[in-house]
Amino acid sequence: MKYPDKQLLDFLQRMNDETAYTGKCLFRISNMGRGWRLYETSQLGAKRSVREVIADAIDKERGGEKLELINQ
């Protein structure tokens, strides 16, 4: 089944909002070769908005900045 992007992002945001943990997330690139991550975390820089986290990653990439690596 296909879903519109808004519905997909709304789902991720709802999962982030309903979390029993931090309610914040980050987008990072793994430095262990495991790919990219959009994950819930209490790490510095985590935000409550899934859309804002993804937009920040796009802005960094467009600005020639390397996305932050994680050790996971």
Beta strand 36-40 with 25-30 is antiparallel
pLDDT at position 29, please? 85
Q: What percentage of the chain carries pLDDT values higher than 70?
A: 90
Length reported for the chain: 72
Residues 6 or more apart whose CB falls under 8 angstroms from that of 58 comprise: none
Under 8 Å between Cβ of 43 and 27: no
Q: For the segment 44-57, what is each residue's pLDDT rounded down to a tens digit?
A: 989 999 999 999 99
